Amino acid sequence: MKTQFNNLEGINREIAEYLKDYCDGISHSISNEGLAHKFDIDVRTVRNLVANIIAKYELPIGSTSKNLSGIFWIKTEDEFEIAHRELISRIKKLSKRAKGVRRGWQAWKSEIEAEQLTLSGVGSE
């Protein structure tokens, strides 16, 4: 199992090993704030580092904002399902936001173009 950490260096390795050793399973999860305090870094950096560790090194690290919220080393199929559902939920919410931004921009752009046409005198004969 130690081979999972062979390519990790520095703070990435320290965080991954800490999660595996001390946050094994959802019942031992740690908040972003707790992890930030432990490693003396800011919360945004923790989020970015953990996301990078999961994506780049494909380690079984989960997080949840429900009940026992926090970051944890996935130990069971149930914990995997909880972490996976959480990610899918976040993706769906981000997708809705992206759609809202796109539609908002399109509507705003149309208003600006219509206003520019009116100001230039086009169509006012």
Above 80 in pLDDT, residue 2? no
The answer to whether residue 118 is domain-embedded is no
The answer to whether residue 76 is domain-embedded is yes
The answer to whether residue 123 is domain-embedded is no
Domain count, the chain: 1
Domain ranges, residue 58: 2-113
The answer to whether residue 125 is domain-embedded is no
The answer to whether residue 47 is domain-embedded is yes
Contact 22, 28 (CB under 8 A): yes
The answer to whether residue 96 is domain-embedded is yes
CATH at 24: 1.10.10
The answer to whether residue 120 is domain-embedded is no
71-117 pLDDT, tens digit per residue, is 999 999 999 999 999 999 999 999 999 999 999 999 999 998 888 88
